[in-house]
Amino acid sequence: MTTAPKSGERDAAAAPEKAPPIKFSGYQKFVVALLAFLQFSIVLDFMIISPLGAVIMPDLDISPQRFGEIVSAYAFSAGASGFLAAGFADRFDRKRFLLFFYCGFIGGTALCALAPNYPVLLFARIVTGVFGGVIGSVVLAIVTDLFPLAMRGRVMGVVQTAFSASQVLGIPAGL
């Protein structure tokens, strides 16, 4: 036999108490900003090449098809490396793993800047994609390791906002 709850009990059950949001420490703010910057830079590197087609195609004397291969090379290599890294990424310290892949990403980006011809630029985009493709997932894994559940939504929101910011702010500034 059940009894109907009294009016006051029903209201208390329907509206759970809201805890005040947990404040970020100085270190946590630094980590969030750093992870957002990493996300910003890898997305910007992926996106910045497209509007540069008008400069790159005549400079390297390549066709639109070859330029499309340069743009796609990053995406394909990033997807493949992200898929392959999923099998072994948890075996390594996340900080070292992130540093290794970000250093490789920087090296690939520098190689892109110095590429004198199509084959070198294509190779550089593949290298950059291989390293950049893993960084996004490592960033999110670090968020889940360092932040309690009550903070993760806000942290992931800030980190993922860097994706949009790289297109809205980064591309115009980079051109």
Work out the average pLDDT over 110-137: 94
Does residue 81 form part of some domain? yes
Residue-wise over 115-144: b if at least 16 C-beta within 10 A, else e?
beebeebbebbbbbbbbbbbbbbbbbebbe
Query: What's phi and psi for 49, nearest 5 deg?
Result: -70, -35
Maximum C-alpha span of the chain = 83
Does residue 94 form part of some domain? yes
Supply the CATH number for residue 107's domain: 1.20.1250.20
pLDDT reading at 1 higher than 60: no
Q: If you average pLDDT over every residue of the chain, what do you get?
A: 87
Does residue 168 form part of some domain? yes
- Quote the pTM value: 0.80
pLDDT reading at 17 higher than 80: no
pLDDT reading at 126 higher than 70: yes
pLDDT reading at 7 higher than 70: no
Does residue 62 form part of some domain? yes
pLDDT reading at 10 higher than 70: no
If one counts the domains in the chain, the total is 1
Does residue 18 form part of some domain? no
Q: Please, are residues 101 and 138 in contact by the beta-carbon 8 Å criterion?
A: yes
- Expressed as residue numbers, the domain containing 41 is 26-174
The DSSP code for 168 is I
Does residue 105 form part of some domain? yes
Binned at pLDDT 50, 70 and 90, residue 104 comes out as: very high
Does residue 97 form part of some domain? yes
Does residue 63 form part of some domain? yes
